[in-house]
Chains A and B, each alone.
Chain A
Amino acid sequence: MYGQKVKLRFFFILLVLSVLVLTVFLVLKSLEENIVYFKSPSEVKLLTEIDSKKIRIGGMVKKNSVEMSANQINFIITDFKNEINVTYSGVVPNLFSEGKGVVTEGFLQDRNFFKASKILAKHDENYMPPEVKSALENK
């Protein structure tokens, strides 16, 4: 139906695209460490050395772990395997709450203790009206 040249150009494009995809895949693979926005507590536990660089740690705020005092907030970030204690002084975003996602930026003191200088709330992909939420909880 199509001429030889049309077919040739089609396969040439396919070849170019596959080479490009492969290249980009390899580049992204090798840069993975830098592309991730935050580390999970489990990844932090595996760190061989704790340097003084600023890092981000993300996970869930453990239920019943938030302690607020006059100018400091302490809570625990968990990925349900490992936990890290976080201390922070400052304003937390509206969506920050227990059992919800959080990303903190700051400095590791040791493998269990993190001093945050910034807190971001990470929300999940679920959207629903309040009535539906309470109906779900009552179930």
Chain B
Amino acid sequence: MFKILEPNKIFLITSKAPKYVMILFILVFSIGLVEALILSPEDYKQSHSVRIMYVHVPAAWISLGIFSSITFLSLCGYIFKNKHFFLIAKSLAPSGLIFNIVALVTGSIWGKPTWGTWWAWDARITSMLILAIFYLLYLIAWRIFEDKEQVIKITTLITIFGIINVPIIKYSVDWWNTLHQPASINIMSKSAIHSSMLLPLLIMSAAFALFSLLIFLMKYNTELIKLKNKGLDRL
């Protein structure tokens, strides 16, 4: 099972993919920027500062999505005793952390003109900060532990503890009083964002997802080449 994940086989695909992903990213990102900065209307209440949303929200989504993926991959690696999964998880983490930081920073920039403060210790913002700390822990663990068996165990543990935080981030705005507003987009009901503003949001999300994929592929290829240079056929 999972023969495709063997470094020799997957490298044939992942070494060719980045340039296509890059072209697609530039294309989607340019359309997204034009939509978000020029074509989309201003908000009735916030006027132009609503445009920060088109960076803030996709960045937060991607960072949550990547942490969930890392956990899923680590658990698959543990359950199926297959080390290829951990290599993918490790390569995903940097872009997740970057987007987590982007979400925090743009949130702060957005908070000042709208709420009147750079930072509030409310449940949403604090739990997002905790996610960033888990990302950092995860990446640091990969750096400092030499022994492969050990690093796999420790990083999997970190993801298991960290994943509890993900639903807390999602539902923090519903469970507790927070300064942060509740979710505007809901799968079950009509979105509270007007369609002219939803479009740039979705395009920017696609662009950020492509960017993550690009960074992931670059990191993953580096990891695969490192393995090859060590003469190993797996982690």
Tell me if chain B binds chain A. Answer: yes
Q: CB within 8 Å of B: which residues of A?
A: 5-6, 9-10, 13, 16-17, 20-21, 24, 28, 32, 35-40, 58, 92-96, 100, 103, 118-134
Q: Is the CB of A24 within 8 A of B194?
A: no
Stretch at the interface among B39-47, B61-69, B206-214: B39-47
List, sorted by A's number, 16 A–B pairs whose CB atoms are closer than 8 Å.
Answer: A6-B81, A9-B79, A13-B75, A16-B160, A24-B168, A36-B123, A37-B123, A118-B117, A120-B115, A120-B116, A122-B115, A122-B181, A124-B192, A125-B182, A127-B197, A129-B41
Question: Which one, A6, A93, A127, contacts B115 given CB within 8 A?
Answer: A93
Known: A13-B79, A93-B116, A122-B181. A129 touches B176 (CB 8 A): no
Q: Is the CB of B113 within 8 A of A126?
A: no
**Which residue of the partner chain A has the closest CB to B40?**
A129
Q: Is the CB of B116 within 8 A of A129?
A: no
Known: A32-B176, A35-B176. 7 other contacts (CB 8 A): A5-B81, A9-B79, A13-B160, A20-B164, A28-B168, A121-B114, A131-B41
Q: Which of B195-210 contact A (CB under 8 A)?
A: 196-197
The winner among B44, B50, B164, B192 for most chain A CB atoms within 10 A is B44
* Alpha-carbon distance between A130 and B121 when the two chains are bound, in angstroms: 31
Residues of A within 8 A of B75 (CB): 13
Known: A20-B160, A127-B193. A133 touches B44 (CB 8 A): yes
Residues of A within 8 A of B178 (CB): 36-37
Report the 3 A-B pairs with minimum CB-CB distance, sorted nearest first: A93-B116, A129-B41, A133-B44
Distance of B3 from chain A, by nearest CB (Å): 16
Q: Is the CB of A130 within 8 A of B184?
A: no
Q: Which of B41-96 contact A (CB under 8 A)?
A: 41-46, 50, 53, 75, 78-81
* Alpha-carbon distance between A21 and B182 when the two chains are bound, in angstroms: 23
Q: Is the CB of A20 within 8 A of B115?
A: no
Secondary structure at chain B's binding surface: helix, strand, loop or mixed? Answer: loop
> B179 interface residue, CB < 8 Å from A?
yes
Known: A20-B164, A127-B53. A95 touches B177 (CB 8 A): no
Distance of B112 from chain A, by nearest CB (Å): 9
Known: A120-B120, A121-B114. A127 touches B43 (CB 8 A): yes
Known: A9-B78, A120-B115. A128 touches B194 (CB 8 A): yes
Q: Is the CB of A37 within 8 A of B79?
A: no
> B183 interface residue, CB < 8 Å from A?
yes
Q: Which of B3-58 contact A (CB under 8 A)?
A: 41-46, 50, 53
Q: Is the CB of B192 within 8 A of A95?
A: no
Residues of A within 8 A of B181 (CB): 122-125
Distance of B173 from chain A, by nearest CB (Å): 9
Distance of B180 from chain A, by nearest CB (Å): 9
Question: Which one, A9, A92, A128, contacts B44 given CB within 8 A?
Answer: A128
> B161 interface residue, CB < 8 Å from A?
yes
* Alpha-carbon distance between A35 and B53 when the two chains are bound, in angstroms: 25
Q: Is the CB of B177 within 8 A of A36?
A: yes
Residues of B within 8 A of A13 (CB): 75, 78-79, 160
> B233 interface residue, CB < 8 Å from A?
no
Known: A20-B164, A35-B123. A129 touches B194 (CB 8 A): yes
